Amino acid sequence: MLIGLKEILEPAKEGKYAVPAFNVYNMETVMGIAQAAEELRAPVIFQVYSRLFEQGKGEYLSPLILETAKKLSVPAAFHLDHGSGEAAVLRALRNGASGIMIDASLKPLEGNIAETGRIVSLCGEVGVDVEGELGHVGSTGDESQSPFTEVAEAKRFVEETGVCALAVMIGTAHGKYKKAPKLQIERAREISQAVGIPLVLHGGSGVPDDQVRAAIGAGVAKVNFGTDVCCSFLDSVFEVSRQVIALDLFMNEPIQAVKRFAMEKIRLLGADGHV
C-alpha cells in the first residue's frame, strides 16, 4: 500500500530498524525491489532522482511506481530524491510522490533553512512530508569531503523548517568508495537526540555492514542505495547471453539480480518481518 514518508519512517525509528530507500530507474529495478519487499514482509521506499524529473523520464516511471506501491501488501512510499528546487518538487507531486526531498545542502545555513522551509510549506498544502539535508553528502569523486553536520545547526534546521526526516553528513558519499568510509556514529547519535526525527543515511552503497548497523542504532531510519541498485542490474545484464533477443526474457535474470540485492539490504537494515 502507498503511504507517506513520515508514516513509513516513524515506526522504523521506534523499532530501531531502517527502511531501505532504493533509487529506481526502470520497470525491472521496480519489479526486483517490489518482489523483495513483498517476500520479506518489509516496508520499502522507491525513490527517483530529481534528474529524471528534469529530463522528462519521471513521467514514464512514476505511474509504474505508483501502481506497484498501491498493489503491494507491504507499506511503500514513492519519494523524490535530492529535489533540486520547486519545479522538480511540483513535477514529483503532480506524478503522485508521497514523499519529497529538497536538497539545498550546498547553500549556507540560512539559505538552506529558507529554501527547505518554503518547500515544506508548499508540500504541506497537499499533505506530503519532506526530507531535508544539512551538511553536504558529496560524491566519492570529490576532491575533499564536506564538513560533518553540526548538532546545534541540525536542531535549529529541524525546528525552523519542519522537515520530517534529516539527511546528515556523517562520512558517507555517493558512488563507489575508493576505500571504506568511516562513519561518525557518535555524532549521528547526538544529532538524533537533539532533533528527535529520523535521520537519513545517503551514499549507502559500499558502507560496511557493521557501520550501517551502528548508524541505525544511533538514529538512522532510512538508508539510501543507488549505485549498487545499478550495479546489481548492470552486472547481470552483461552476463545474459546475446542469443536472448526478446527483451522481456532478456530481463528475467537482471530482475532476479536486483531482487537478491534488495533482499540482502532489507535484512541488513532489519526491515524484514515488520508488516
First to last CA, the chain: 11
* 225 binding partner (options Zn ion, ligand 13P, none; Cβ < 5 to 8 Å by kind): ligand 13P
Query: Cell numbers of 29, please?
Result: 529495478
**Residue ranges in 212-231 that form contacts with Zn ion under rule CB under 5 A:** 224
* 26 vs 252, beta carbon nearer ligand 13P: 26
- Least gap, CB of 223 to Zn ion (angstroms): 10
Q: How far is the CB of 205 from ligand 13P (least distance, A)?
A: 3
Is position 13 an interface residue for Zn ion (rule: CB under 5 A)? no
Residue 163 to residue 119: CA distance in whole angstroms? 9
Instruction: State the nearest-atom distance from the C-beta of 241 to ligand 13P, in Å.
Output: 29
Q: Between residues 95 and 227, which has the closer beta carbon with respect to ligand 13P? A: 227
The strand pairing partners of 130, in sequence order, are 100
Tell me which H or E stretch contains 56: none
Q: Which of 6, 13, 187, 202 binds Zn ion (CB under 5 A)?
A: 202
Q: Which residues bind ligand 13P (CB under 6 A)?
A: 23, 81-82, 174-175, 202-205, 224-228
Picked from Zn ion, ligand 13P, none, the partner binding residue 184 (CB below 5 to 8 A depending on kind) is none
Cβ atoms within 10 Å of 11's Cβ, excluding its own: 16
Give 43 or 203: the residue with its C-beta nearer to ligand 13P.
203
Q: d(Cα 106, Cα 109) in Å, to the nearest integer?
A: 9
Catalytic residue list: 81
Cβ atoms within 10 Å, residue 221 = 27
List the binding residues for Zn(2+): 82, 103, 133, 174, 202
Which residues lie below 8 Å from residue 179, measured CB to CB, with a gap of 6+? none
- Type of residue numbered 186: E
Q: All 3 cell numbers of residue 70?
A: 498501491
Q: Which is nearer to ligand 13P, 144 or 243 (CB)?
A: 144
**Residues of each annotated binding site:** 82, 103, 133, 174-175, 202-205, 224-227
What's the min distance (Å) between Cβ of 202 and ligand 13P? 3
3-state DSSP assignment of residue 126: coil
Instruction: State the binding partner of 254 from Zn ion, ligand 13P, none, CB within 5 to 8 A by kind.
Output: none
Residue 58 DSSP code: H
Which stretch of DSSP H or E encloses residue 223?
strand 220-225
In single-letter form, the type of residue at position 128 comes to V
The residues that touch Zn ion, with contacts defined as CB under 5 A, are 202, 224
